[in-house]
Amino acid sequence: RGFFPNSGGRVDEGRGRGAGHSINVPLRRGASDGSFIRAFTAVANRAVAAFAPDAVVVQCGSDGLGADPHKVFNLTTDAFAQSVGAVLAWGQPTLLLGGGGYSNADCARCWARLTAVACGSDIPPETDIPEHAFLNDYAPGFDMQTDAMLVEDENTATYLDSIIQAISSSFASRG
List Cα–Cα distances, 165 to 66, 86, 162, in angstroms. Answer: 27, 20, 5
Question: How does pLDDT run along the chain (175 residues), one tens digit per residue?
Answer: 445 545 566 666 777 887 777 788 999 999 999 999 999 999 999 999 988 999 999 999 999 999 998 888 999 999 999 999 999 999 999 999 988 899 999 999 999 999 999 999 999 999 999 999 999 999 999 999 999 999 999 999 999 999 999 988 887 766 5
Q: What is the pLDDT of residue 1?
A: 44
Q: What is the pLDDT of residue 2?
A: 47
> Which of these, 175, 151, 174, lies nearest to 13 by C-alpha position?
174
Q: What is the pLDDT of residue 34?
A: 98
Q: What is the pLDDT of residue 76?
A: 96
- Provide the phi-psi class of 61: left if phi over 0, else alpha when psi is between -120 and 50, else beta: beta
